């Protein structure tokens, strides 16, 4: 039976997993949340690559997944090319899929991006956008505090509301499309939409559709009972609590592991 591996620096990849489960209800899923090392976005590119390869080697060589989804923008930018060369299975990231949706969504060619410091530093979104649609103007804003707050359980408070407002207010009002350039951010879309009225792009949805085009829908697995296994490198119960809230279903099989 086919197994799809999904990994992120922590709980943010749940936004991608949620879409994967919709598209692939009959496949085994293994999710790895490297919350011990979160956020990746505050680390050097070399360190991000090292962490990514540890996790992906575990999923590919130890767990023998049949496809790998990098459910992290920072990891996608830092390591997807290396992974695609390293493994003989499909490896899909979130950046290209988010870019394609943004290009198709904007009506005035003004695209905003909110992301981690590392993702902004790598310029992976602007570079990809300009390569595909050079007529666009791209504006990036670093949001260094979002990931830690989401990992610890986002609370809708005056402080968190002011934080979102301070980040979004850095964009011109003319920007009509906003890419959530970190997979943690879709988990707080409803709060972000208080201050951004245009099109908000969640790359997770397009990523799951892209994977489906590559590996098929897995309907041949209908007769099997698929498994859902979660590996977490950090605090187990904290991850479980936040992940279940955003996944909107219980997590039964969750295991602590440090690679």
Strands 177-180 and 67-70: unpaired
* Distance separating the N- and C-terminal Cα atoms of the chain: 26
Q: Is 182 a catalytic residue?
A: yes
Catalytic residue among 178, 182, 192, 200: 182
Asked if the peptide bond before residue 150 counts as cis, ω within 30 degrees of 0, the response is: no
Q: Which residues pair with 5 in a beta bridge?
A: 30, 68
C-alpha 129 chain-centroid distance: 18
Q: In angstroms, what CA-CA distances link 113 with 37, 65, 125? A: 24, 32, 8
Residue of 59, 69, 72, 111 with catalytic role: 72
Instruction: Tell me the sheet residues that pair with 33.
Output: 8, 232
What is the helix, strand, coil percentage profile of the chain, to 5? 50, 20, 35
Other beta carbons less than 10 A from residue 209's beta carbon: 14
Instruction: Tell me whether residue 52 is one of the annotated catalytic residues.
Output: no
Q: Which is it for the CA torsion 249, 254, 257, 259, positive or negative?
A: negative
- Active centre residues (catalytic): 72, 182
């Amino acid at each position: 039976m086919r197994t799809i591996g999904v990994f992120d620096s922590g709980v943010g990849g749940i936004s991608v997993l949620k879409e994967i489960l919709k598209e692939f209800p009959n496949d085994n899923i293994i999710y790895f949340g490297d919350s011990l090392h979160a956020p990746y976005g505050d680390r050097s590119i070399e360190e991000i690559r090292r962490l990514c390869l540890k996790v992906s080697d575990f999923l590919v060589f130890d767990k023998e997944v049949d496809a790998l989804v990098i459910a992290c923008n920072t990891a996608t930018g830092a390591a997807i090319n290396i992974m695609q060369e390293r493994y003989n299975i499909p490896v899909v990231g979130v950046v290209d899929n988010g870019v394609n949706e943004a290009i198709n969504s904007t009506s005035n060619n003004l695209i905003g991006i909110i992301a981690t410091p590392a993702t902004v530093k790598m310029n992976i979104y602007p570079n990809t956008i300009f390569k595909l649609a050079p007529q666009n103007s791209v504006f990036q804003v670093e949001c260094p505090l979002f990931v830690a707050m989401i990992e610890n359980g986002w609370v809708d408070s005056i402080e968190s509301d002011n934080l979102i407002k301070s980040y979004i207010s850095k964009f011109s009002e003319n920007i009509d499309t906003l890419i959530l350039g970190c997979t943690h951010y879709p988990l707080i879309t409803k709060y972000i939409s208080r201050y951004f009225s245009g099109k908000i792009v969640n790359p997770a949805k397009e990523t799951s559709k892209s994977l489906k085009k590559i590996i098929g829908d897995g309907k041949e697995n209908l007769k099997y009972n698929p498994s859902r296994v979660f590996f977490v490198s950090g605090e187990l119960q904290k991850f479980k609590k936040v992940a279940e809230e955003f996944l909107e279903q219980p997590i039964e099989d969750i295991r602590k592991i440090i690679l």
